[in-house]
Amino acid sequence: MVSDRQNSKLAKSAGIYLHIPFCIVKCPYCDFYSIENEQDDFDSRESFVDALTAEIRNGNLNETKISTIYFGGGTPSMLDGDQVDRILSCLRDNFDVAADAEITLELNPGEIDIGRLTYYKESGVNRLSMGAQSFQPEELKTLGRLHLPEDIFTAAELIEKSGFDDFNIDLLYGVPGQTLDSVAENVLSAINIMPNHISVYSLTYEKGTPFYSMKAEGLLKPVDENLERVMSERVLEILRDAGYNRYEISNYSLAGFESKHNSSYWNGSPYYSFGPSAHSFDGRARWWNIRDVRSYIDKINSNESPIAGKESLSREKLIFERIFLRLRTSSGLHIPSFESEFELIFSERFETQLIELDKMEKDGSQPIYSYVDSYLRLTDNGLRYSDAIAELFVP
């Protein structure tokens, strides 16, 4: 149960996520929902935009101020400027979108042109996120990516020419066959492009993906765990030296360019999502749409709800999620706010966990957490074990 006090504190500002389920081809490691170009044609994208705008029109967010909008996917840059414009106009017509809202759109190198980028900019998109992943041709091939390293540089030039000064580059490490040197080269190449935000994720093998089966069948050799740990340390070192602050376990930015949208997930703020497979969270419950884009369009066209499931989060689960998410960030968990929101005394409620944390710290050579200015934070060393530390707090 969530107390009345918590209810009254439900934020009046929220983010919006839009799931655009189209990709030219499906990358073998990716478990986000999307359909490949072969199964898609322009008409299906038009029908999808019609359905998405209809779902938005049916949404009721009362007086919630929308502070961020995120076009994710899939490959949102497969939408025309006109289609993005229609979606944004629909959001503004139906919700209270802040004039200075952060509006991000994901794109792939090699799949954009200046006309499309300019249209996005004129429509109000003010932040781009480019899925570069690697600057090494062999690694891009292993990952099943369609682009070449030179496409990343061309995309960066187009981004600059079209007037975007706020953009992110996504990179992956732990790619089979990757070396420590190539990880360092990838990060340095990204820095040379001068984005104000860089996200560096370790490759994961998600159930249901071709990479998962290939790993199980011994056809793909994952990078050794120790090497992967050294890679993550090298990434951190290079980015810090270049002035990028690690503000979340996988996210780095120049001062003032942290992603507001992603930060709101880590703050436990509400977000409302539209499109197939999209998940929403209002501060108390989570719900999600059906995955299949054709069924999604059919449901909307028949005036049926596209929601496939809903989960009310218990107070214990909300507490755990907040601790788990905040401990992944560099600012950490502000104990007085947490205590006031959940009406508990942290040191009493989590006495056992704090003893375990101290034990873990004594067993290792370096500190894993700090408690300064009322914030509980994991150190760089602690962030390496963030999953194990979060486990301690599982209800």
Question: Whole-number minimum distance, CB 105 to ligand SF4, in Å?
Answer: 13
Q: Which residues pair with 334 in a beta bridge?
A: 375
Is 26 near ligand SF4 (CB under 6 A)?
A: yes
Looking at beta carbons, which residue is closest to ligand SF4? 30
Question: Out of 19, 34, 252, 326, which residue is the one contacting ligand SF4 (CB under 6 A)?
Answer: 34
177 vs 166: CA distance, rounded Å: 32
Is 32 near ligand SF4 (CB under 6 A)?
A: yes
**Alpha helices, DSSP H, located in 219-301:** 225-241, 260-266, 293-301
Question: Out of 16, 20, 27, 51, which residue is the one contacting ligand SF4 (CB under 6 A)?
Answer: 27
Is 23 near ligand SF4 (CB under 6 A)?
A: yes
Is 73 near ligand SF4 (CB under 6 A)?
A: yes
Contacting ligand SF4 within 335-364 (CB under 6 A) = none
C-beta of 20 vs 97, nearer to ligand SF4: 20
164 vs 157: CA distance, rounded Å: 10
C-beta of 131 vs 275, nearer to ligand SF4: 131
Tell me how many degrees the CA angle 36-37-42 measures, rounded to the nearest 5: 130
Is 30 near ligand SF4 (CB under 6 A)?
A: yes
Stretch that binds ligand SF4, among 28-36, 45-53, 171-179, 210-218 (CB under 6 A): 28-36
Stretch that binds ligand SF4, among 73-81, 157-165, 307-315, 336-344 (CB under 6 A): 73-81
> Which of the 8 DSSP states describes residue 66?
E
Tell me how many degrees the CA angle 98-100-101 measures, rounded to the nearest 5: 65
C-beta of 165 vs 206, nearer to ligand SF4: 206
Contacting ligand SF4 within 115-154 (CB under 6 A) = 131
Is 108 near ligand SF4 (CB under 6 A)?
A: yes
Contacting ligand SF4 within 75-94 (CB under 6 A) = 75
Is 74 near ligand SF4 (CB under 6 A)?
A: yes
Question: Whole-number minimum distance, CB 107 to ligand SF4, in Å?
Answer: 10
Helix (H, G, I), strand (E, B) or coil at 73: strand
Q: Are strands 13-20 and 271-274 parallel, antiparallel or unpaired?
A: parallel
244 vs 328: CA distance, rounded Å: 17
Question: Whole-number minimum distance, CB 22 to ligand SF4, in Å?
Answer: 8
Report the 10 Å Cβ neighbour count for 304: 10
24 vs 74: CA distance, rounded Å: 9
Q: What is the DSSP string of 331-351?
A: S-EEHHHHHHHHTS-HHHHTH
Q: Which residues pair with 36 in a beta bridge?
A: 23
Which residues contact ligand SF4 (rule: CB under 6 A)? Answer: 23, 26-27, 30, 32, 34, 73-75, 108, 131
